[in-house]
Amino acid sequence: MKKTSTRLADGRELIYYDQRDDAVRDAVDKRPLEPTVTTSEVRRDPLLGDSIAVASHRQGRTYHPPADECPLCPSQGDRLSEIPDSSYDVAVFENRFPSLAGDSGRCEVVCFTSDHQASFADLTEEQARLVLDAWTDRTSELSHLPSVEQVFCFENRGAEIGVTLGHPHGQIYAYPFTTPRTALMLRSVAAHKEATGGENLFDAVLARELAGERVVLEGEHWVAFVPYAAHWPYEVHLYPKKRVPDLLGLDEAARTEFPKVYLELLRRFDRIFGEGEPATPYIAAWHQAPFGALEEFEGVNRDDFGLHLELFTIRRTSGKLKFLAGSESGMNVFINDVPPESAARRLREVASS
Which of 57, 144, 169, 237 does the annotation list as catalytic? Answer: 169
288-320 burial code (b ≥16 CB/10 A, e <16):
bbbbeebeebeebebebbbbbbbbbbbbbeeee
**How far from 309 is each of 128, 159, 282, 319, CA to CA, in Å?**
15, 21, 13, 26
Residue 169 known to be catalytic: yes
Q: Rg of the chain over CA atoms, in angstroms?
A: 20
**How far from 224 is each of 13, 70, 235, 335, CA to CA, in Å?**
35, 34, 10, 22
Cα–Cα dist 169/158, whole Å: 11
- On whether the CB atoms of residues 302 and 245 are closer than 8 A, the answer is yes
User: Is the four-CA dihedral 98, 100, 103, 105 of positive or negative sign?
Assistant: negative
- On whether the CB atoms of residues 215 and 340 are closer than 8 A, the answer is no
First vs last Cα of the chain: how many Å apart?
A: 30
Which positions are annotated as active-site residues? 169
